[in-house]
């Protein structure tokens, strides 16, 4: 039961941190979690996936992960229409088996700018169960454009802890991630 709860919590966290808001469906009253869905038609989804597969970012993942083994149902394409361009978020969700084969890689999110045919955002999210002081946590770790972005832990009650298991909040994690991101990339 605990593993089921932590798995559901992991899906919620993945959805809230990495999938654009507005297309996740979580019904807390019924304790149900629905997998996010693409907000584009099937033809557009396939066209975007074909374009992404030609990108250097995707090719690197294809050489180092099992991204090519992800089924179509586990690829989510979300369109954000802009004034001057469209941006597509393509989320490759690794199932339990593939994640295990790929060092606990739970998801890869690539963002594609249609105006310049470029992948400008390359996010890898890792998720695993860890134990600390006889308690079980979900450890979440993100790599953005090849650089560490965040790492935190979540307990069975949904409380957040930093990578050293110090109690924190989602807002604090987001703030620290943004600060680390800006510092990391300004020093590059």
130, β-bridge pairs: 137
- pTM of structure: 0.79
pLDDT digits (tens, 9 = 90+) for 117-134: 999 999 999 999 999 999
Q: Per-residue confidence at 12, pLDDT binned at 50, 70, 90? A: very low
List the Cα angle 86/61/129 in 5-degree steps: 100
Output the pLDDT for position 124.
97
Q: How much is the average pLDDT of 47-56?
A: 97
- Looking at the chain, the number of H-run helices and the number of E-run strands are 5, 10
Output the pLDDT for position 81.
93
Which sign does the torsion angle of CA 83, 20, 176, 123 carry?
A: negative
pLDDT digits (tens, 9 = 90+) for 92-108: 999 999 999 999 999 99
Output the pLDDT for position 158.
92
pLDDT at residue 2 is higher than 90? no
| In the chain, domain spans | 2-186
Q: Per-residue confidence at 26, pLDDT binned at 50, 70, 90? A: very low
Cα separation, 68 vs 129, whole angstroms: 25
pLDDT digits (tens, 9 = 90+) for 145-183: 998 889 999 999 999 999 999 999 999 998 888 877 677
pLDDT at residue 9 is higher than 50? no
């Amino acid at each position: 039961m605990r593993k089921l709860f932590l798995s559901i919590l992991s899906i919620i966290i993945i959805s809230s941190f990495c999938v654009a808001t507005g297309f996740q469906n979580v019904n807390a009253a019924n304790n149900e979690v629905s997998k996010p869905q693409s907000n584009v038609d099937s033809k557009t989804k396939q066209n975007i996936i074909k374009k992404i597969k030609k990108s250097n970012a995707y090719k690197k993942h294809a050489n180092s992960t099992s991204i090519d083994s992800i089924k179509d149902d586990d690829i989510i394409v979300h369109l954000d229409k802009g004034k001057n361009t469209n941006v597509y978020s393509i989320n490759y969700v690794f199932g339990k088996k593939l994640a295990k084969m790929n060092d606990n890689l739970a998801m890869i999110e690539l963002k594609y700018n249609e105006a310049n045919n470029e992948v400008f955002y390359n996010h890898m999210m890792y998720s695993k169960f860890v134990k600390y002081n006889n308690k079980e946590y979900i450890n979440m770790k993100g790599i953005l454009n090849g650089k560490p972005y965040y790492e935190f832990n979540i307990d069975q009650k949904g409380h957040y802890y930093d990578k050293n298991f110090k109690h924190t909040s989602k807002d604090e994690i987001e703030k620290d991630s943004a600060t680390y991101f800006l510092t990391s990339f300004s020093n590059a």
